Amino acid sequence: MPVQMRYPQLSVIFDVDTARAIASRMKVLDYVSKNNILIGGMHIVSPGMGKLKADSEGGYIFTPKCHEN
């Protein structure tokens, strides 16, 4: 997560179709950040939930959230 949030255009060996994996990741990250959606997942640092914000270099910054007010 720390690498692919910062550099979402990178792929890993588990991405069978590299181009589709990158396109899918970019689409989801863009949507989540633009719509201010709280996300959660297994490979996200504790507390496992947070929000994304696009940075100026094409990546995303993750901010952990314990709960939504």
**pLDDT score recorded for residue 68:** 54
**pLDDT score recorded for residue 46:** 78
Judged on CB neighbours under 10 Å (0-12, 13-18, 19+), 39 is middle
- pLDDT tens-digit readout, 3-58: 888 999 998 888 899 999 999 999 999 999 999 999 988 777 777 899 999 999 99
**pLDDT score recorded for residue 13:** 87
Neighbours of 41 (CB within 10 A): 9
**pLDDT score recorded for residue 47:** 78
**pLDDT score recorded for residue 3:** 83
Buried-state track 51-68, b at ≥16 Cβ within 10 A, e below 16: bbeeeeeebbebeeeeee
